[in-house]
Structure 1
Amino acid sequence: MQELLKVIVAGLVEDPTAIQITEDAPNEEGVIVYHLHVAPEDTGRVIGKQGRIAKAIRVIMRSGAAKNNQKIAVEID
């Protein structure tokens, strides 16, 4: 799942080498949280107008996780 997130975000940013993804252990509800860090100038590109791109990224990641019987969340830091 981490690779899927990296591929999606790499297509959006100008500096793909600055992408950092950290993964938390599943919490008590079984949700794995992925923390996405990009270069400061690329943050707006990942979030999008009114958060539309961020929402789309989260939807794609949730649907991919559902195929693997996982629950995930993506936070953009």
Structure 2
Amino acid sequence: MGELVRFIAQALVNHPDQVMVTEKEDEDSVIIELRVAPDDMGRIIGKQGHIAKAIRTVVRSAAGRQKKRVTVDIV
């Protein structure tokens, strides 16, 4: 799922080489941290957080097949 977040983020930002994704996995949950360049933060969050919500929705639906709870944090 980290690769999915990386793929989506790199398609949205101006500096795709500065996209960093880290995964922390527990028994039943996964925390994905997304870091981008400060200039690209607005592109990832979007107006009123719509793009961030969409990224989280796509990742949660992909995680539903694996029976894990996923949280995407934009740092």
- TM-score band w.r.t. shorter chain: over 0.9
Q: Which amino acid aligns with 1:67?
A: R
Give the aligned partner of residue 61 of structure 2: 63
- 4+ residue runs over 2 A deviation: none
Unaligned runs of 5+ in 1: none
Q: Which amino acid aligns with 2:4?
A: L
2:47 counterpart of 1:49: yes
Please report the TM-score for the alignment, with normalisation by the length of structure 2: 0.94
Unaligned runs of 5+ in 2: none
Per-residue deviation, 1:25: 2.5
Which runs of structure 2 are paired with 1:18-33 in the superposition (5 Å)? 18-26=18-26, 30-33=28-31
Secondary structure in 2 aligned to 1:14? coil
Please report the TM-score for the alignment, with normalisation by the length of structure 1: 0.91
Secondary structure in 2 aligned to 1:3? helix
* Number of aligned residue pairs: 75
Per-residue deviation, 1:70: 1.6
